[in-house]
Amino acid sequence: MAEITAAAVKELRERTGAGMMDCKKALAENNGDMEASIDWLRAKGLAAAAKKAGRQAAEGLVGVAVQGTKGAVVEVNSETDFVAKNETFQEFVRNVAQIVLETGSDIEALNDAAYPGGGTVAEKLTNNIATIGENQSLRRAAVLEVSQGAVVSYVHNAAATGLGKIGVLVALESAAPAETLQALGKQIAMHIAAANPLALNAEDLDPALIERERGIAQEKANESGKPANIVEKMVEGSIAKFRKENALVSQLFVMDNKTPVAEVVASAGKDAGSPITLKAFVRFQLGEGIEKQQSDFAAEVAAAAGQNKAEPVA
C-alpha cells in the first residue's frame, strides 16, 4: 500500500474542496493515485464543494451561545436565505457557536477545532456544502466574558432558538442579582439590535470614521457662506452630535426615547443595590459589509447557451 503523505492530502483537498479526512480516505482507497482519488470523491459527492466555492455567500444565520459569564456569537453565510431554514445548517451554526466559547474568535483555530461526532469544523462545513448544494462560509466570531455578572444574548428575526439575522451580546459586570442583570441585558441588547451603535463610548469610535464625518460636515458648513469661526463651530457641533448618536452609552434608550443608556444602567444598579458596569457589546448583522452581487438572469441564460444578450432595437 502506497504511503499517504500530508502533501498529497493537501493537494487533493485543494483540488476538490473535500474534507481532510475524506481526502486521506480517498487516497488510501486508491493506493495514493491522485486522479483516481478525485474520481472517488466525485462519485461520493464529496468533491462538489469545490465547484461551489466561488459562489457568493451573503445569506445564512447568526448564532449565539452563553455559558456562565461567557458568551459567543458567530456568523455563517450561505448563498440563499432558503438554507437558513435547513435543519442541518441550523445545527451546524448552533454547534459552532458553542465551540467558539472554547476556541475564541480566531477563525483559523475555529476551523481546526474538533466538531461533535468527528472531524473538524472545516471538514463538517465542506461536507455540508456538498450535501446541501450551496456554498457556505464561516465568516466571523466574537466572545465576551466578565469576571462577575452576566453576558446576555439576544437574537432578532429568529429562525430558531439562538439563531437569526441579528445577534447581540451584552456584557454586564456586577454583583447584582442574576435576574436583574438578565432583564437589563435583554433590554439593552434589544436596543443595540435596533439602534446599531458603532462603539460603547464616544472615545472608542473609529478615528477614520470621525475624520470622514468631519470632512462631510466641513463641506456642508462651507456652503453656508458663514465666517470661518462660525463654520468651525458648526463642524464641531456636527461631530459632537455624531459621537453622541453613535456611542451606545449616550444613545437615547429605545424603550422611552429620552433616557441615555448610561443613565438606564446606573438607575438599574441603584435599584439593585449594586453598581452595574456596561463593559462591552457585540452586534453581528447577517451579511453586513458584504456587497451582494446583482444577477442578470437573462444574461446568465444567454451565456449558458453560448449566446450574447441581444442589443435593444432602436
Q: How far apart are CA 253 and CA 249, in angstroms?
A: 9
pLDDT the model gives residue 147: 96
* Edge-to-edge strand ranges of the sheet holding 59-67: 136-145, 70-78, 59-67, 163-164
Q: How far apart are CA 71 and CA 107, in angstroms?
A: 16
Residue 25: helix, strand or coil by DSSP?
helix
What is the reported pTM? Answer: 0.74
pLDDT the model gives residue 1: 61
List alpha helices for the chain, DSSP H: 6-16, 20-29, 34-43, 48-52, 87-103, 107-112, 121-132, 178-195, 207-222, 228-246, 261-272, 297-304
pLDDT the model gives residue 57: 54
pLDDT the model gives residue 292: 54
Q: Write the CB contacts of 253 (distance below 8 Å, at least 6 apart in sequence).
A: 187, 191, 259, 260, 261, 264
Q: Counting every residue, how long is the chain?
A: 314
pLDDT the model gives residue 311: 39
Alpha-carbon distances of 124 from 38, 89, 109, rounded to whole Å: 19, 10, 14
- The x, y and z cell numbers of residue 268, run together, are 438599574
pLDDT the model gives residue 314: 34
Q: What is the mean pLDDT of each run of 10 residues along the chain (314 residues)?
A: 83 78 89 86 64 58 96 94 90 97 95 94 91 88 97 94 96 97 97 96 93 87 88 92 95 95 97 97 89 47 43 38
pLDDT the model gives residue 256: 93
Task: Quote the DSSP letter at residue 82.
Answer: G
Amino acid making up residue 13: R
Residue with cell 458663514: 226
